[in-house]
Amino acid sequence: MCSFPTPESIQAIKRALRARWLAERMALPPEMVAAASEMIRRHIEAWPPFHAAHTVLTYMAFRNEIDLTPLLGHHLEKRWALPRMIAPGELALHLYQPGALQRHRYGMLEPTPECPLVDPEEIELAFIPGVAFDRYGFRLGYGGGYFDRLLPRLKGLTVGVTYARFLVDALPHTPTDGRVQWILTETGWVQAQAPG
């Protein structure tokens, strides 16, 4: 008799994958992180939708995530937004203002509460961090569900950002897991496939 995976078993698999891949990412040497981050920034700067977008959501890298931060200083013509955790599973988006960042207890930098809010529907292009992505655009994050709740509220293009080694054929997922439209690694762009 066939048995279908339960939400609990899916979460257990995701926890195991998250722990394994986070450990692998944290072990990456700094020069590899820097080289991959620079290559990804070059891919972004050569992408026409990036040039067309005025309001762009990004993130402040930590724990060896791909670092997009230099883009903020190189493209002052754009209106950059950053996420801030405001409640369990809930993000607010704020306008990036140099010098108006504070460190969250989890370790990442985020905007101070005084920074102007940005409506998610104003975001034309969003760069979404993740531990891993699959070719359908599903994401494995840190487990809090923050971006899963944000993604359906974004009307613009969504891009998952990770290393090529963490782009996999398929990830376990539930109906509440959000998807991105594109995945970007140091080796280039992958347009997410429609789930079969």
Name the residue with higher pLDDT: 118 or 194.
118
What CATH topology corresponds to 7-191? Rossmann fold (3.40.50)
Distance CA(37)–CA(186), nearest Å, equals: 7
Structure tokens given for 157:
């293009």
**pLDDT confidence band for 47 (50 / 70 / 90):** very high
Per DSSP, the three-state class of 30 is helix
Calculate mean pLDDT across residues 97-120: 93
**pLDDT confidence band for 4 (50 / 70 / 90):** low
**pLDDT confidence band for 187 (50 / 70 / 90):** very high
Name the residue with higher pLDDT: 105 or 6.
105
Name the residue with higher pLDDT: 101 or 1.
101
In percent, the amount of the chain with pLDDT more than 90 equals 82
pLDDT value, residue 2: 47
- Strand 55-57 and strand 125-129: the pairing is parallel
Q: Indicate if the pLDDT at residue 5 is higher than 70.
A: no
Q: Indicate if the pLDDT at residue 128 is higher than 70.
A: yes
Per DSSP, the three-state class of 189 is strand
Q: What angle do CA 65, 67, 70 make, to 5 degrees?
A: 170
Q: How far is CA 133 from the centre of its chain?
A: 9
Q: Indicate if the pLDDT at residue 32 is higher than 50.
A: yes
Distance CA(153)–CA(1), nearest Å, equals: 40
pLDDT value, residue 30: 97
Distance CA(140)–CA(132), nearest Å, equals: 5
Q: What angle do CA 119, 108, 176 make, to 5 degrees?
A: 55
Which residue shows structure tokens 């569900």?
145
CA distances from 80 to 1, 53, 132 (A): 52, 10, 24
Distance CA(138)–CA(10), nearest Å, equals: 14
pLDDT value, residue 34: 98
Whole-number average pLDDT of the chain? 93
